[in-house]
């Protein structure tokens, strides 16, 4: 498969105003701290991790809603790390976002028709008849009736609101949709409806998704490849089955141990991690997971492990897998 997006050593730091502990030097929250991965055309790349690990910030930085602190982003081979306003407008058509809370992201005083039409106006489509045709087309694709288009967002259930959010993202015919916890606010019974809709749309339009979620079972059903994030870093990147059958990184192992075993006879030990996730303002030295890791070695406390390829479509950042050829700097 052809590569659609490539992210190289992407960082997004937020300055903490005034410093902390009376310290005047500027401190930073290292929300995203050097992630590297690619996304191929037509696939769903999952980003999984606990809340606060930097998933959402990564998504927003990739689509340039936020300025990256460091690193590079390539979309369709073009470097989009430093683009001007005109190029940004073009990019907005190609990369869209679907948010977790469809209600908060929909203007409550705007009728659904307008909500879905609005991006087309922003993209400079002045022909009203053309816009009308597109709104009806996209409403039909997500399963909204013409009568529903006249209503206000509060008249809809959560699942239907997410259909509106998806319609609005879809109307500019994007190539990549970043879905940030798109079903986390929905009842489990509604989740699969929305996920199935997203799958159908992907097939029909050859869409590529970056699917951000803390929910490992949703990720498992929906994604082709997955990046596991911890404290702003991607600690493991893998094809789905390899990750779920044989996770390499101790953090991935712990996360996955919470899932019910697919083979009832095969007992699985739940791994409980010690301590809490440290602050991203002062991440631990060496491997940032080391204070919580059940496999921690001396080297882990001082030396940062790099992401290294273990197998086709499977990379991990952990000293346990350091091969003789790999030299860390
Ligand atoms: Fe654990 Fe060391 Fe691997 Fe970090 S590098 S995950 S501390 S074994
Ligand atoms: Mg988030």
* Distance from the alpha carbon of residue 180 to the mean position of ligand 2, in angstroms: 7
DSSP state of 89: H
Q: How far, in Å, is the centroid of ligand 2 from the Cα of 128?
A: 36
- Indicate which ligand has the atom closest to the C-alpha of 296: 1
Judge if the beta carbon of residue 99 lies within 6 A of ligand 1: no
How far does the centroid of ligand 1 lie from the alpha carbon of residue 6, in Å? 26
- Over range 89-115, report the average pLDDT: 90
Cα(263) to ligand 2 centroid in Å equals 31
pLDDT at 26: 75
112: nearest Cα among 172, 165, 173, 157: 165
- In a domain? residue 328: no
Closest CA to 271 of 259, 257, 261: 257
Which SS3 state, helix, strand or coil, does residue 286 take? coil
The structural domain count of the chain equals 1
**Under 8 Å CB-to-CB from 25, ≥6 apart: which residues?**
19
Query: What tens digit of pLDDT does each residue of 243-278 get?
Result: 999 999 999 999 999 888 767 677 778 999 999 999
Q: Kindly state whether residue 150 falls inside one of the protein's structural domains.
A: yes
CA-based nearest residue to 248, from 305, 299, 302, 304: 305
Residue 329 lies in a domain: no
Mean pLDDT of the 70-82 span? 96
What percentage of the chain carries pLDDT values higher than 70?
A: 94
10 Å Cβ neighbour count for 272? 9
Q: Would you say residue 328 has pLDDT above 60? A: no
Shortest-distance atom of ligand 1 to CA 287: 4
Q: Specify the DSSP element, H or E, that contains 220.
A: helix 216-222
- Is the Cβ atom of 299 under 6 angstroms away from ligand 1? no
Nearest atom in ligand 1 to 297's CA = 2
Q: Which of 277, 291, 295, when mutated, tests ligand 1's pocket best, judged by the most ligand atoms within 8 Å of its CB? A: 295
Show the CA angle centred on residue 234, arms to residues 18 and 198, nearest 5°.
105
Q: Are strands 3-16 and 233-239 parallel, antiparallel or unpaired?
A: unpaired
Nearest to 45 by CA among 271, 274, 263, 228: 228
204 CA to centre of ligand 1 in angstroms: 42
Nearest to 67, CA basis, from 86, 53, 47, 88 = 88
314 CA distance to ligand 1 centroid (A)?
Answer: 17
Any ligand 1 atom below 6 A from CB of 248: no
CA 231 – ligand 1 centroid, Å = 14
**What is the β-pairing status of strands 78-79 and 27-40?**
unpaired
Residue 55: which of 197, 205, 173, 216 has the closest Cα? 216
Rounded to a whole number of angstroms, the CA Rg of the chain reads 21
pLDDT tens, residue by residue, 132-184: 999 999 999 999 999 999 999 999 999 999 999 999 999 999 999 999 999 99
- 229 alpha carbon – ligand 1 mean position (Å): 14
Q: Which atom of ligand 1 is nearest to the CA of 295?
A: 8
Site to substitute for ligand 1 among 248, 298, 319, most atoms within 8 A of C-beta: 319
Ligand closest in space to the Cα of 233 = 1
CATH number at residue 225: 3.40.50.300
Q: Exposure string (b/e) for 237-264, b if CB count within 10 Å is 16 or more?
A: bbebebbbeebbbbbbbbbbeeeeeeee
Share of the chain above pLDDT 90, in %: 83
Does residue 327 lie in a domain region? no
Give the number of other Cβ atoms within 10 Å of residue 42's Cβ.
17
Rounded Cα distance, 129 and 233, in Å: 47
Instruction: Tell me the C-alpha distance between 153 and 191, whole Å.
Output: 19
Task: Give domain status of residue 221, yes or no.
Answer: yes
Q: What is the reported pLDDT for 216?
A: 94
**Ligand 1 lined by 20 (C-beta under 6 Å):** no
- Mean pLDDT estimate for the chain: 92
Domain, as residue range, for 117: 3-321
CB of residue 217 inside a 6 A radius of ligand 1? no
Which pair of structure tokens corresponds to residue 175? 């190539």
- Atom index in ligand 1 nearest the CA of residue 319 equals 5
Please state the ipTM of this predicted complex. Answer: 0.97
């Amino acid at each position: 498969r052809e590569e659609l997006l490539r992210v190289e050593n992407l960082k997004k730091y937020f300055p903490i105003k005034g410093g902390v502990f009376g310290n005047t030097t500027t401190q930073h929250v290292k929300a995203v701290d050097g992630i590297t991965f690619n996304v191929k055309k037509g696939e769903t790349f999952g980003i999984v991790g606990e809340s606060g690990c930097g998933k959402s910030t990564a998504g927003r930085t990739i689509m340039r809603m936020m300025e990256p602190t460091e690193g590079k982003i390539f979309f369709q081979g073009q470097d989009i790390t430093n683009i001007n306003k005109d190029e940004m407008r073009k990019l907005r058509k190609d990369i869209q976002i679907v948010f977790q809370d469809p209600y908060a992201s929909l203007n409550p005083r705007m009728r659904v028709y307008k909500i879905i039409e609005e991006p087309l106006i922003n993209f400079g489509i002045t022909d009203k008849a053309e816009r009308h045709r597109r709104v009806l087309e996209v409403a039909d694709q997500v399963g909204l009736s013409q009568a529903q288009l006249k209503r206000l967002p509060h008249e809809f259930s959560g699942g239907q609101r997410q259909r509106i959010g998806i319609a609005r993202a879809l109307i500019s015919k994007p190539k990549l949709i970043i879905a940030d916890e798109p079903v986390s606010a929905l009842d489990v019974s509604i989740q699969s409806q929305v996920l199935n809709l997203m799958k159908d749309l992907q097939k029909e339009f050859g869409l590529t998704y970056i699917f951000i979620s803390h929910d490992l079972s949703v990720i498992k059903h929906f994604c082709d490849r997955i990046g596991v994030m911890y404290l702003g870093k991607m600690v493991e990147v893998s094809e789905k089955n390899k990750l779920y059958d044989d996770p390499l990184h101790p953090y991935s192992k712990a996360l996955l141990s919470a899932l019910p075993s697919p083979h009832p006879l095969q007992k699985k030990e739940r791994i409980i991690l010690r301590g809490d996730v440290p602050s991203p303002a002062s991440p631990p030295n060496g491997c940032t997971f080391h204070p919580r890791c059940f496999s921690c070695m001396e080297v882990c406390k001082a030396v940062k492990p790099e992401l290294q390829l273990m197998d086709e479509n499977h990379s991990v950042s952990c000293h346990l897998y350091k091969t003789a050829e790999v030299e860390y700097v």
